[in-house]
């Protein structure tokens, strides 16, 4: 029986084999093999990986994402890479059944840039675009009861880049890094809010 080299495989067979692998392994192989690199430019490969991540971990697609049919192969690959980084960062190694995942849409005109949980009672949500941002405080129990109205909202004249929350027994201090615009040189880039 003659041996068949991987280079002799048709692209569709190679793609079928790649779909049995983990996305990280495919990314590693494509860095070293031109044949794998060519085969993984096909959108179908990354759509398969995206679907398997959504099914296995219950990861919701971003609301602001264009329809998947409109995305090119590189954009779907970027989504997969983002989800893989998120999984590594959050150490999600076990599957999450869909019934345990609760998705709450906060219906904001700007994308959510970060979320901080405060004392297991409050959700602090930063929504930013290139020009403005808002910091919303939600009561978690109200969100569970389908109330999507924030308890408090603060608006900023630039996007929120990052934020931290420091809690003590009697207070909560929120620090947000707001990108200042050159036309407003005296606008602070670090804003502290005490509750």
Query: What are 89-103's pLDDT values in tens digits?
Result: 766 545 555 455 566
Mean pLDDT of 124-150: 81
**Which stretches within 6-98 are classed as H helix?**
11-18, 23-30, 34-39, 43-57, 73-90
Domain hosting 12: range is 8-98
195 C-beta neighbours (distance < 10 Å), count: 12
Mean pLDDT of 170-186: 72
Least confident of 9-13, 45-49, 78-82: 9-13
In degrees, to the nearest 5, what angle opens at C-alpha 82 toward C-alphas 79 and 85?
150
**Same domain as 121, residue 77:** no
Does 91 fall in a domain? yes
Distances (CA, A) of 161 to 8, 25, 72, 179: 49, 32, 28, 7
Does 31 fall in a domain? yes
Q: How many domains does the chain have?
A: 2
Here the contacts of 33-42 (C-beta below 8 Å, separation 24 or greater) are 35/6, 35/7, 38/11, 39/11, 39/14, 39/15, 40/77, 41/73, 42/11, 42/15, 42/73
**Same domain as 121, residue 88:** no
- pLDDT of residue 180 exceeding 80, the answer is no
**Structure token pair of residue 195:** 């509750």
Residue 90: per-residue pLDDT: 67
pTM over the 0.75 mark: no
Q: What is the mean pLDDT of the chain?
A: 76
Mean pLDDT of 9-37: 80
DSSP H or E run through 136: strand 133-139
């Amino acid at each position: 029986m003659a041996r068949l080299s991987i280079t002799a495989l048709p692209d569709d067979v190679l793609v079928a084999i790649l779909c049995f692998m983990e996305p990280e392994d495919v990314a590693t192989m494509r860095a070293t093999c031109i044949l794998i690199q060519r085969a993984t430019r096909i959108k179908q490969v990354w759509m398969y990986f995206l679907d398997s991540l959504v099914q296995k971990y219950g990861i919701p697609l971003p609301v602001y994402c264009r329809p998947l049919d409109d995305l090119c192969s590189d954009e779907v690959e970027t989504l997969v890479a983002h989800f893989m980084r998120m999984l590594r960062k959050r150490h999600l190694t076990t599957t999450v059944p869909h019934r345990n995942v609760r998705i709450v849409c906060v219906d904001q005109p700007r994308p959510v840039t970060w979320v901080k949980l405060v004392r297991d009672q409050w959700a602090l949500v930063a929504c930013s675009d290139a020009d403005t941002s808002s910091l919303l405080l939600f009561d978690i129990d109200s969100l569970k009861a389908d109330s999507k109205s924030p308890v408090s909202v603060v608006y900023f004249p630039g996007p929120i880049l990052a934020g931290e929350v420091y809690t003590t027994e009697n207070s909560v201090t929120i620090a947000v890094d707001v990108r200042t615009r050159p036309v407003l040189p005296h606008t602070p880039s670090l804003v502290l809010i005490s509750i």
